[in-house]
Structure 1
Amino acid sequence: MPAAAVKSKPLPTQSTAQRPVQLDLPYAPVTKRPLPAGRPREWYITHNRRLKAMRLAIALLDSGVHLPDQARDETIREVARLIGVHPPSGTTCRMVRALMRYGC
């Protein structure tokens, strides 16, 4: 096929980073299932912390925060308030940033 016959896509007029992104509120609550019995208490704490960090990371990405440097503790706690979860601890905030950093 000659190069002149190939048509390129038109470039978007505005990038995603410049457009305001709104959260689809309210988030639908996740159906809860019982956790497996017989594990040490620390396993349950870590498991729930990971689930919360994952929910927060997804909400941050939906709201337009794409870099871990943009996700300060205050920003993460504000998103937690918006989606209806308890304010995360400093450890959970670090986990959210780690997910954003290494999830790409």
Structure 2
Amino acid sequence: MLTAIASVPTEVPKKGDVIDHAWKPLIKQPLPAGRPRSWYIAHNRRLKAMRLAIALLDAGTFGPTQATDEKIHRTAEIIGVHPPSGATCRMVRRMMQAQR
């Protein structure tokens, strides 16, 4: 699972560069000021859930039933993000379920 991650470059891609690994963030932009704290929490949770969902899809987990909490936690450890909460795990499964 995710064996190619060992060869991921350590530098963060700049805006306009080709992104080889979608779970690596671009250069951080400042978030808009003046929003309630709950908005920032939800925004960061969505970003983390998207990175985890993309990494799971890249690893061959294609359905929400395959994405157990344990598998999501292992993936988070592998890609280097903090362990997700239960709400984030549910959001990952909802993202994988969405047919758009």
- TM category, shorter: 0.7 to 0.9
Cα shift at 1:103: 4.1
Structure 1 SS opposite 2:4: coil
Separation of aligned partners in 2, 1:32 and 1:103? 29
Q: TM-score, normalised to structure 1's length?
A: 0.74
Q: Which runs of 5+ in 1 are unaligned?
A: 1-20
Q: Which runs of 5+ in 2 are unaligned?
A: 13-23
Cα shift at 1:37: 0.3
- May I ask how many residue pairs the two structures share in their alignment? 84
Higher Cα radius of gyration:
1
- Judged with a 3 Å threshold, the aligned counterparts in structure 2 of structure 1 residues 82 and 23 are, in CA distance, closer, same or farther, namely same
Report runs of 4+ in structure 1 exceeding 3 Å deviation: 21-24, 26-29
Give aligned-pair identity as a percent. 61
Alignment correspondent of 2:16: none
1:41 counterpart = 2:41: no
User: Superposition RMSD on alpha carbons, in Å?
Assistant: 1.7
Separation of aligned partners in 1, 2:56 and 2:3? 9
Q: In the alignment, which of 74, 91, 102 is matched to residue 70 of structure 2? A: 74
Separation of aligned partners in 1, 2:3 and 2:58? 6
Q: TM-score, normalised to structure 2's length?
A: 0.77
